[in-house]
Amino acid sequence: MDRKQIIHELVMLILKNMDLSDKSSEEIVDLYFKKTAEVKAEYSKKHRENVNWEY
C-alpha cells in the first residue's frame, strides 16, 4: 500500500466509527477532507520522527 491508500483507509476507519446519521452528504464530504488533512499531517509528523536523518 502506498501513502495515499494508507491515509484513505485510516480516514475511512475514522468515519466508520463516527455517528454520521445526523450529517448531510455535504457535511460528510467536508468531514472526509478535514480528517484526511489531519491524518496526512499526523502521518507526515510520525514519518519525520522515525526517519534516520544521520548519513
Each residue's pLDDT tens digit, 1-38: 888 999 999 999 999 999 999 999 999 999 999 999 99
Task: Taking residues 37-50, report their average pLDDT.
Answer: 87
55 pLDDT higher than 90: no
The grid cell for 3 is: 501513502
pTM of the complete model beyond 0.85? no
Q: What is the distance between the alpha carbons of residues 22 and 27, in angstroms, rounded to a whole number? A: 10
Helix residue ranges, H only, 1-55: 3-16, 25-50
**Residue 50: per-residue pLDDT:** 80
In a domain, 55, yes or no: no
User: Which backbone phi and psi does 41 adopt, to 5 degrees?
Assistant: -65, -45
In a domain, 28, yes or no: yes
The count of structural domains within the chain is: 1
Residue-number span of the structural domain to which 36 is assigned: 3-50
